[in-house]
Amino acid sequence: MNTKIKKLLIVLLVSTMLNLGAVSAYALYNPDSFYNNISWTWYYNAPYTNSYNCLGYATGSMTWEWPWGGNPTSSAVDSYLASLGYSTSGQWAYIISYGSTSAIKHFSKVTGEVWCRAKWGGLERFDHGSWNPYYAASVYGPKVQQYYLN
């Protein structure tokens, strides 16, 4: 094999390897239909893990954070988040709770004017094109409260 062909093959091989490394591949834990039944707008952000949950992601602790025995009331969440420096009024929302005032089931972190990002329990982390991305009858429910960092 002559030198020009060898060089061309090496360039093609390296180029192919670099391009393959740039591909963003992911595997969802469940089929798309599972996620479609919970949210009308979801975009994959990070893989599933049990090392942290929605509240741990929203507060930034990156741990499994759920200080209540079950689904807390909205006022119990208000108290807990107040101890971390959050309030229910302010200039810019940071955390959103979901469910109902009698049973909060989920949290997301505000990432933009209409976008939020949420870790779904032990499942993946998703971006949402709305601050209210979950169906009312889903396991998470509608938006309940916005929290602001004091």
pLDDT at 22: 38
Phi, psi of 106 (to 5 degrees): -160, 160
First-to-last C-alpha distance (Å) of the chain: 70
pLDDT at 14: 39
pLDDT at 8: 45
Instruction: Report the alpha-carbon angle 107-49-82, nearest 5.
Output: 30
Distance from the Cα of residue 31 to its chain's centroid: 17
Residue 134 DSSP class: B
10-residue mean pLDDT series, the chain (150 residues): 51 40 65 97 96 98 97 98 97 96 98 96 97 97 96
pLDDT at 3: 57
